[in-house]
Structure 1
Amino acid sequence: MDDAEQILQDVIQIRTDGDYEARVADYLLKLLDTHHITTKKIEFSKNRSGFIAEIGNDQGPVLGFAGHEDTVALSNPADWTKDPLGGQKVDQRIYGRGATDMKAGLVAAVLAMINLKEQHIPLKGKFRIYGTVGEESGEEGAEKMVAAGMADDLEALMVGEPSGISLKVLQKLSSSLEKLGIITANDVTELLNYNQSSEQHFLEIAHKGALSYDIISHGQTAHSSMPSLGINAVDGLLRFIYEQNIYFEELVKSNNSLLGTTTPVITKISGGEQLNTIPGEARLSILIRTIPEISNQQIIDQLHKILSKVNAKVESQLTMKINFIHEPVFSSSQSKLSKIAQTVGEPLLQQKLGFIGVPGGTDASQFVKANPQLDVLVFGPGNTSAHQVDEYVDTEIFHSFIKVYEQIVARYLA
């Protein structure tokens, strides 16, 4: 066991699946302060703290790194074969909730920063780490940091979310990944033939945004034997669904070269309280994964038009509640950050690294609000065991990413 792995185990052992990120922030801030690195604790509420850490000077650009301290819920701890809060090492793996998503990435960046400082690597510019809270529950930490102007000077941003997949899983999922438009089966075969490690990683330069909203239909209850005395809220909701589906048929025709099409999904629907009562309220929940070609605001504007049209035709009145808006991210494979990461990462990870876009989101959606032209790269230790029972990170990959981050920063700020 070495110091890097012990630090990761310590952080995994801190439970952060709710409002408890402050203990992770305190642990990492103490470690950074020991090495005389400039830090700032960012308090959001009781037991919820993020942080900023920074090395370098004002002689060049600012390269950022975003990593979240929180995790998803443990989910049926009895189903785990390892303690979900144990950080146990077995063979070449460290297990625990958050091991992959994304305490390994955050710890790797912190250790890379410490190594750069201790080795007195000359930098022309600043390397800044953002330790965020609440990424899994809506990216609230990153959102507040960006709103406070803490990212206004960034030129580029790395996000340490897991970017890998085990070779066995990749073989099994190659056809599914091709259907999703992420990578072709032939490209998967080529990567597998070259790979000399346990996982295949990708340079993620794009991911979809997200728009979540509820449509609420307001009617009037009445006895089901006398429906004329009430207003059936479900009827209005059904009319909205019909009109919305017509719009969605057009919406999905736009295409992004890496991300594919916009993906709208109705995820929840409810209405009425009991069988013999006219529903006085009905509700619809929708999540749309968005692409840069059609902005979230354009979609919202069109939804308002649909609402007005439906409200003019039905007795119930419909309203819309926006739950959250996350911007899509799309960067170039030819950016300075992308090219350096590929050059550095391939020999250290012993594999070819291709550029892809993914349907899920990250804190980067908040950072691009401050600078829509921000170069973004999602690249970090970890794999598809995120959010699953027996989540783990490969220790060799973890160590490699510490070196990867060191070299990316050193070259970017050379």
Structure 2
Amino acid sequence: MDKRKALKILQDLLKIKSVNNHEAQVADYIKLLFDQYPAAQVTEVNYAPGRSNLVITLHGDQPGKTLGLAGHLDVVSPGDVTAWQHPPFAGEIDADNIYGRGASDMKGGLAALINVLLDLLAEKRSFAGTIRLFATVGEETGNYGAAQLTHQGFADELDALIVAEPSHLQVEYTHRGVIDYELAAEGKAAHSADPAAGNNAIDQLFRFYQALTALMAQKTAVDPVLGPLLHNVTQIAGGEQINSIPARARLYGNIRTTPLYPNQPLMAEIDALVAQLNQAPENKLTLTYHYPESPLPGNPQAPFVQLFHQVASNTLGQPVEIVGDGGATDASEFIRAAQKFPVVIFGPGNASGHQVDEYIAIKDYLAAITIYQQVILQFLR
């Protein structure tokens, strides 16, 4: 491993402002890194103007299994840049850390995967089978890059998948799913002194909230790793002024699902609840889902999970935990592929993602490169 080269690649990625958009600029930079290696098959999959996924495929010396590697190209907004001590798109570095928006979530993990592939190509390392790197758009706003690649069949041959999201260098094998929903209520405006002449849209939202809260209270099973089903109302808007009955109102909610309560059956129950409420003439509710992401089932005893655990523990010189993740990742889309495969979420990041002065520890970043390479070569022996 050329440490200076590895650090420069990450710094270069951090300098590209791919905030919920402009991922094609990151894809173009990555393509340039692989241009000198004819053995690397590089496929650009356009999602929208200025937004391109990248699929990089390496074939081994002989047939074998197919291992997927995944990282996303987008980052979240830096917010108030004056609050940052280290500019969010400068890739500043000190003795211990590299700073910048996306350093932890997850250009650090993506850069580590890129470095592994570049090293394999430069050293002409021997392996059996195929390595396929997915660099995706839109993970932070809906996983639609991973959904596009899965729909087009790029993940259909996978035997295992590594998602390089930040995991504190712990081995994650399962994670929650997400259901984001929007409920619109349409009523009738009236003077607040004569409420019977109108239909209060906010009251309709209250009826839904009470019914959904009762439904969620029935979901008492607790996943031993991920915990209980979670539901929160996170936004609400409606009304025009304090002395008028509101004609329109909206409620936004977030549900964090587990394998015990998968998305589709739960969404069907919520749809039925809204349909039942709409049978009353005073209710006119419209429910919309925004990019639901399925929970990731997994088995901590799966051979691929155990391989990762062994390699990571040996490399770091201490036992590494096998855990679950409360968030969701691109794996939610990739597992929709033609065949089932184990997934490990493992990355060098930390809890600084989405925060001011996001950073990644240099030692963790370099350790991840070593761990990824060893896992890949052992899995594809």
Q: Smaller-chain TM-score range? A: over 0.9
Determine helix, strand or coil for the equivalent of 1:234: helix
> 2:331: which partner in 1?
364
Q: 8 Å contact 1:66–1:131 — kept in the other structure?
A: yes
Whole-Å separation in 2 of the counterparts to 1:48 and 1:364: 20
Residue 317 of structure 2 corresponds to residue 313 of structure 1? no
Q: What amino acid does structure 2 have at the position aligned with 1:8?
A: L
Q: Is the 8 A contact 2:157 2:339 kept in 1?
A: no
Aligned partners of 2:36, 2:318: CA distance in 1, in Å? 35
Matching residue's letter, 1:11: L
2:56 to 53, 58, 73: 53
Deviation at 1:212, TM superposition (A): 1.0
SS of alignment partner, residue 34 of structure 1: coil
Unaligned runs of 5+ in 2: none
Does residue 23 in structure 1 map to residue 25 in structure 2? Answer: yes
Residue 238 of structure 1 is aligned with which of 206, 224, 228?
206
The code of the aligned residue for 2:297 comes to: F
What do the CA deviations read for 1:107-139 (whole angstroms, capped 9, x no partner)? 111110121222232222111100001111111
Structure 1, unaligned runs of 5 or more: 165-200
The whole-number CA distance in structure 1 between the counterparts of 2:183 and 2:171 is 37
Secondary structure of 1:255's counterpart equals: coil
Matched, 1:44 2:47: yes
Q: Does 1:228 align with 2:196?
A: yes
Map residues 47-86 of structure 1 onto 2, 5 A cutoff: 47-57=50-60, 59-86=63-90
CA distance, structure 2, for counterparts of residue 382 and residue 291 of structure 1: 23
Match among 313, 332, 353 for residue 320 of structure 2: 353
What TM-score, normalized to structure 2? Answer: 0.95
Displacement of 1:371 in angstroms is: 5.0
- Asked if the contact 1:205–1:357 (Cα under 8 Å) also holds between the matched residues in 2, the reply is yes
Q: 2:122 aligns with which of 118, 122, 127?
A: 118
1:91 aligns with 2:58: no
Report the residue type matching 1:248 in the other structure: M
Deviation at 1:53, TM superposition (A): 0.6
CA RMSD of aligned residues (A): 1.5
1:39 positional shift = 0.8
SS in structure 1 opposite 2:191? coil
| Paired residue total | 377
Asked whether the equivalents of residues 32 and 110 of structure 1 are also in contact (C-alpha less than 8 Å), the reply is no
Q: Which amino acid is 2:179 matched to?
A: L
1:271 alignment partner in structure 2 = 238
One-letter code of the match for 1:249? A
What's the CA shift string for 1:169-215, capped at 9, x where partnerless? xxxxxxxxxxxxxxxxxxxxxxxxxxxxxxxx310111100111112
> Counterparts of 1:304 and 1:103 in 2: how far apart (Å)?
38
The one of 125, 140, 143 aligned to 1:139: 143
Amino acid at match of 1:220: K
Residue aligned with 1:214, SS: strand
Deviation digits for residues 78-108 of structure 1 (CA, Å, limit 9, x no counterpart):
1111121111111111111111111111111
2:49 corresponds to which letter in structure 1?
Answer: K
Decide whether the 8 Å contact of 1:336 with 1:412 is kept in 2.
no
CA contact (8 A) 2:201 2:248 kept: yes
1:102 is paired with a residue whose SS is helix
1:104 has 2:108 as partner: yes
Structure 1: how far apart are the matches of 2:355 and 2:206?
36
Note the C-alpha offset of 1:394.
Answer: 1.1
State the TM-score, normalizing by the size of structure 1. 0.88
Give the CA deviation at 1:156. Answer: 0.9
Shift of 1:4: 1.0
Partner of 1:55: helix, strand, or coil? strand
Correspondence for 1:208 among 160, 170, 176? 176
Amino acid at match of 2:165: E
- Mapped to 2, the partners of 1:372 and 1:316 lie a distance apart of 43
SS in 2 for 1:52: strand
The residue that corresponds to 1:219 in the other structure is 187
Percent of aligned pairs sharing the same letter: 34
Deviation, structure 1 residue 257: 2.1
- The 3-state SS of whatever aligns with 1:254 is coil
- Deviations, residues 225-272 of structure 1 (Å, cap 9, x unaligned): 332222111222211111111101012x02222111111111112221
Where does 1:245-284 land on structure 2 (aligned, <5 Å)?
245-251=213-219, 253-284=220-251
Contact in 2 for aligned 1:349/1:397 (Cα 8 Å):
no
Contact 1:62 1:127 in 2 (8 A): yes
Q: 1:241 to 1:314 in 2, by over 3 A?
A: farther
State the shift of 1:305 in Å. 2.0
Counterpart code for 2:105: D
Alignment-mate amino acid for residue 66 of structure 1: A
Give the letter for the 2:380 counterpart: L
